[in-house]
Amino acid sequence: MGTPLTDDDLLGLLRKEESAASNYQQSALSQTRLAALAYYDRDLYGDEQEGLSQVVTSEFADVIDSLMPPLMRVFTSTDDVAEFTPVRPGEEQWAREASQYVPYVFMRQNDGFRILYWLIKDALMYRL
């Protein structure tokens, strides 16, 4: 076990992580995400010329929206969203209890359906 961090060491480590997270949000990935959202919302591309068509198709949104129902059925059609198996002998009871408790907490106490919905949609839209 390592040496405990001092308050100053911990603060420095947290500042470093905060800076890395901020840089990540401002990276090229954030530009990709902004572009994906613009495609989904069917925003104009910005290079339109007067007198020419300014039609923006909805294929990107259509594909994502058509994939959501079957994917949600796969992940939410049963209450068994997680199953734990014992690693060592004697852990059978623990595995059964965890297999009942974790899905209850996730799906019922934390609105797991909504969490999964947005996680899947974000993954489709933003190539996560």
Phi, psi for 5 (deg, rounded to 5): -80, 145
Per residue in 1-60, pLDDT tens? 578 889 998 899 999 998 887 777 667 677 888 889 999 999 988 888 888 888 889 999
Rounded to a whole number of angstroms, the distance between the first and last alpha carbons of the chain is 35
Q: How confident is the model at residue 120 (pLDDT cuts 50, 70, 90)?
A: very high
The structural domains of the chain, with segments of one domain joined by +, span 7-126
| Confidence (pLDDT) at 73 | 94
Query: CB atoms < 10 A from the CB of 106, how many?
Result: 16
Per residue in 45-98, pLDDT tens? 888 888 888 888 999 999 999 999 999 999 998 878 889 999 999 999 999 999
Calculate the CA dihedral of residues 73, 78, 81, 82 and round it to 10 degrees.
-140
| Confidence (pLDDT) at 68 | 97
